[in-house]
Amino acid sequence: MTIREGQSIPPHQDNCFGCGPRNPAGLHLRMQRNGMGVVADLVLDERHEGAPGLAHGGVVAAALDDLFGGVLVVLGVPAVTANLSVDYRAPVRLGRTLTLSATCTRSAGRKLWMHGTVTDANAITTEATALFVRVGLEHFSSHADVAGPPFGDWIGQARTPSPDGSGASGVR
Ligand SMILES: CCCCCCCCCCCC(=O)SCCNC(=O)CCNC(=O)[C@H](O)C(C)(C)COP(=O)(O)OP(=O)(O)OC[C@H]1O[C@@H](n2cnc3c(N)ncnc32)[C@H](O)[C@@H]1OP(=O)(O)O
């Protein structure tokens, strides 16, 4: 699956908490390709509140984690989060149009390192880094039927990792 610059990233699956359009409790993230990364706008509301008037930190972390999952779609690499680290630099306010962006900064073997930010009016509120580890189809198919679209579409076309773990394009 080739996704061109500026084109929408399909949801990982329709019920994904981050980007699935069918999940009533989800964030309904809509990502676009930006270079070898992705961007998305997000408005959080009282459903996502932690401290009064402010977003719950776990929700912000989940949004960034899902954006990293969007980067995987751009790269065509099936992988999962092994480690996620979040720096909360400023409170995230509800009712604001936040800009989220994520990219893969490096890869080696099965490992991919991600970096992402949340900005509000061009000021960074949150910054995250993550380690993703490439997995095979069985990681997903042993828990659910993953053959159908959209998940099956893109995982079916994902590059099979070579023995040395290489295969992702556009990452160092
Ligand atoms: C279609 C696609 C859809 C993609 C998915 C689309 C949805 C995306 C949604 C957002 C993402 C998620 O929420 S994903 C869901 C949350 N994550 C998970 O459920 C993952 C659960 N964990 C696992 O399944 C496993 O621990 C794995 C796959 C991550 C790793 O297990 P493994 O395959 O046995 O590999 P293992 O040998 O342990 O590790 C491989 C290398 O990574 C390193 N490593 C492993 N874990 C860590 C760690 N926490 N911190 C540092 N380093 C680590 C190891 O040292 C090793 O380095 P070296 O010795 O080689 O140097």
ipTM comes to: 0.96
Q: Domain limits at 119? A: 31-157
Q: Is residue 127 part of a domain?
A: yes
The CATH number of residue 125's host domain is: 3.10.129.10
Burial of 100 (0-12, 13-18, 19+ CB in 10 A): buried
20-51 pLDDT tens trace: 999 999 999 999 999 999 999 999 999 999 99
Instruction: Name which residue sits closest to atom 8 of ligand 1, judged by CA.
Output: 69
Q: Is residue 165 part of a domain?
A: no
Q: Is residue 74 part of a domain?
A: yes
Q: Does any ligand 1 atom lie closer than 6 A to the CB of residue 110?
A: yes
At residue 162 the predicted structure's pLDDT band, cuts being 50, 70 and 90, is: very low
Q: Does any ligand 1 atom lie closer than 6 A to the CB of residue 84?
A: no
Please tell me the predicted confidence (pLDDT) of residue 156.
65
Q: Does any ligand 1 atom lie closer than 6 A to the CB of residue 71?
A: no
Instruction: Name which residue sits closest to atom 3 of ligand 1, judged by CA.
Output: 78
Query: Which residue of 104, 110, 133 sits with most ligand 1 atoms within 8 Å of its CB, as the best mutation to test the pocket?
Result: 133
Q: Is residue 166 part of a domain?
A: no
Residue 65 known to be catalytic = yes
The least confident of 62-66, 104-108, 134-138 is 134-138
Among candidate residues 65, 66, 120, 153, the one labeled active-site is: 65
Q: pTM for the whole thing?
A: 0.92
Mean pLDDT of the chain: 90
Q: Does any ligand 1 atom lie closer than 6 A to the CB of residue 147?
A: no
Compute the residue count for the chain.
Answer: 172
At residue 166 the predicted structure's pLDDT band, cuts being 50, 70 and 90, is: very low
Q: Is residue 14 part of a domain?
A: no
Please tell me the predicted confidence (pLDDT) of residue 104.
98
| Token digits of residue 89 | 């630099």
66-121 pLDDT tens trace: 999 999 999 999 999 999 999 999 999 999 999 999 999 999 999 999 999 999 99
**Overall number of domains in the chain:** 1
